Amino acid sequence: MKVFHSPAHTQHAPPFEIFDGGEKITNFEMPERMERILSALRTDGRYEIVPPEDFGLAPIRAVHDRGYLDFLRTAFDEWLAEPTDYERIALLPATFPLPGPRGHVPTTLLGRAGYYMSDLSAPIVAGTYPAALASANCALSGAKFISLSAHPFPSADNPIRASAPHPLTAFALCRPPGHHAGRANCAGYCYLNNAAVAAHWLTQFGTVAILDIDYHAGNGTQDIFYERADVLTLSIHADPDFEYPYYAGYADQTGAGAGLGFHQNYPLPLGTDDAAYLDTLAKAIERITVYSPQSLVVSAGMDIYGDDPLGRIRVTREGIRQIGQAIAGLKLPTLVVMEGGYNNEALGLNVCAFLEAFHQ
């Protein structure tokens, strides 16, 4: 299996985040996460780890707001140039917009920070923007690879059926993760929505389904595709009634306009175990089967694991293995995009357990 990975992720290493109750803590989303996964993949020996291709900004601008991207690119340098005595190791806002229309983007840096940054868990540091670009390129490179079997018709330029008679799978080892990043905001450790960028790119070959199995609701992905019918978005996650992101991920949020009925959330109760999770997954897989997409993008968060420090459901490693088996059983061209997972001791083994069935 091809694994797309860039060492540029190490440039993004926020020294802290502001946790529940305003506590300043070490950021859970740290570079060590990728090293643990890479170590497990190399020990397994069946993975070809390759660098991503540079796709430029066009595929990212197709998904994200241009003003937001400009802010993300310049924010930290502007922060360093601000004539204040504030600590300059990371940028976080202190003020956020009130509910309702947000028609005006402030000109000041801190005003724009509050406008484009939705919470206090996605600080911007010097290397955030290049790391986020590299992460999105990992997802796009994986999308390009699986498109060899996702394209509906062979052509002189892309003789797909001849070169890839079976559905292909790729693993985009993305960091920073992406599924909380909306069209015009970062949040929850996420800056660019890697899965959404890849899924939109894949729509040139036909319809796409995104299945989000991260512990937290994929609210950014929901935001991006909520009014579209060419990308079916499904998210299985802890009930936002008790868990981040709190304001999105409810079962009655099913799309709008052309996208009505093409988004589905599956909120899970506290303490959900393997059997209950797999029952819910079966419902999502049935939706995907009926939709019959050309390709599948999986936002794979390993924070569903029972011993994850940020999770409160109880899926075991064997449960994670069975989740992978059920998804692989769809036999679709599949791009697996890395999202959350913060038990670093177990993370690599959990990823390998999930990917196991895609080798068979």
Long-range contacts of 78-84 (CB under 8 A, 24+ apart): 78/109, 79/109, 79/124, 82/109
Annotation says 180 is catalytic: yes
Q: Is the pLDDT of residue 161 over 50?
A: no
Q: CA 272, 242, 224, 77 torsion: positive or negative?
A: negative
Which tokens is 276 given?
């209950």
pTM of the model: 0.95
Other beta carbons less than 10 A from residue 331's beta carbon:
9
pLDDT, mean over the chain: 94
Of residues 206 and 166, more confidence is placed in 206
Q: What was the pLDDT predicted at 98?
A: 82
pLDDT in tens, 180-205: 999 999 999 999 999 999 999 999 99
Q: Per-residue pLDDT averaged across 263-270, rounded?
A: 98
Catalytic residue among 64, 180, 200, 263: 180
Helix then strand then coil, in percent of the chain rounded to 5, is: 40, 15, 45
Q: What was the pLDDT predicted at 154?
A: 43
Other beta carbons less than 10 A from residue 213's beta carbon:
28
Q: What was the pLDDT predicted at 165?
A: 56
Please give the torsion angle defined by the CA atoms of residues 281, 316, 190 and 203, in that order, rounded to the nearest 10 degrees: -30
- Can you point out the beta strands (E) in the chain? 2-4, 17-18, 24-25, 48-50, 169-172, 208-212, 231-238, 263-268, 295-300, 334-338
Q: Nearest Cα to 186, choosing from 105, 298, 35, 69?
A: 69
Q: How confident is the model at residue 297 (pLDDT cuts 50, 70, 90)?
A: very high
Q: What was the pLDDT predicted at 150?
A: 57
Q: Nearest Cα to 189, choosing from 199, 201, 169, 174?
A: 174
What's the topology of domain 2-54+128-359? Arginase; Chain A (3.40.800)
Asked if 72 contacts 27 with a C-beta cutoff of 8 angstroms, the reply is no
Please name every residue paired with 263 in a beta bridge, in sequence order, or none if there are none. Answer: 233
Q: Is the pLDDT of residue 23 over 50?
A: yes
Asked if 129 contacts 73 with a C-beta cutoff of 8 angstroms, the reply is yes
Q: What was the pLDDT predicted at 102?
A: 75
Asked if 6 contacts 52 with a C-beta cutoff of 8 angstroms, the reply is yes
Of residues 150 and 32, more confidence is placed in 32
